[in-house]
Amino acid sequence: MPELPEVETTLRGIRPHLEGRTLKAVTVRESRLRWPVSDALYALKDCPVIALRRRAKYLLIELEAGQVMIHLGMSGTLRVVEAALPLRKHDHVDLLLDSGKVLRFNDPRRFGSVLYQPGGEPHALLAALGPEPLGEDFHGDWLFARSRGRKVAVKSFIMDNATVVGVGNIYAQESLFIAGIHPSRAAGRISRERYKRLANAIRVVLARAIEAGGTTLKDFTSADGQPGYFAQSLNVYGRAGQPCPQCEALLKADRHGQRSTSYCPQCQR
């Protein structure tokens, strides 16, 4: 599943082609996505594109009267292509621009979504989200305060979008390794100072992944068709049974919330 760095990479790839343009029309070939494509999308015509931004894993195309919300789901991709380019299988939605190009949404598994939210209140899917991990509102004190009394494993805690958005399975494992925290430790039994190290590790890991273009995943390529390369520098993710890059102890594996977790039994406490 594309995680926050992949979504941010996609945003940066498509932004120059959309900002300042006009959305002329929307073509929907398959409306049965994770949620049905918003009926309001069909009526969008001649709408100036004000800005593009990201909230958690949602790409938000800001228009004068509202916003188009796109989620890539497990296998979704976005490309900016000429409108006349022949369709590929699973090209479900086109946003036609005044440049003659389209923003084309492809999603084989159809777990993604293309929604519309009128101006005013944020969409219900965005209302309860926690802070952005690279924003000023996210820090160790926030994690410490929110974790008090929590018995859930710290890995599951930081993957909860109400705690902080966009820290998916890969980046949770990498961040906990850098911070030296065992992924199974109860969230409420971690000190403020260790949470400060963890918050900084999350920032560093995500920033590096964004700079590298996202992590290479089976179903993901960036907007220009080039895969990310952060996977080449992963410390623990997917490396159970291999030597730890710091102490050379064999990395172990555990499960948290149905997901496999790799960690170092010596470096992470």
Binding site per annotation, positions: 90, 109, 150
CB 110 within 8 A of CB 77: no
**Cα(235)–Cα(219) distance, integer angstroms:** 22
As annotated, the active-site residues are 2-3, 57, 259
φ, ψ (nearest 5 deg) of residue 7: -70, -40
Quick one: how far is CA 233 from the chain centroid?
Answer: 19
Contacts 24+ apart (CB under 8 A), 246-251: none
**Cα(215)–Cα(229) distance, integer angstroms:** 6
**Cα(93)–Cα(10) distance, integer angstroms:** 16
**Cα(54)–Cα(83) distance, integer angstroms:** 25
Q: Residue 193 carries which side chain, given as an amino acid letter?
A: E
- For residue 67, what are the CA distances in angstroms to 130, 138, 199, 229, 259? 20, 25, 30, 31, 33
Q: Residue 234 carries which side chain, given as an amino acid letter?
A: L
Binding site per annotation, positions for DNA: 90, 109, 150
**Cα(50)–Cα(126) distance, integer angstroms:** 20
Count the alpha carbons within 13 Å of 14 in the hemisphere toward its beta carbon. Answer: 31
For 135-191, strand residue ranges (E) read none
**Cα(118)–Cα(75) distance, integer angstroms:** 27
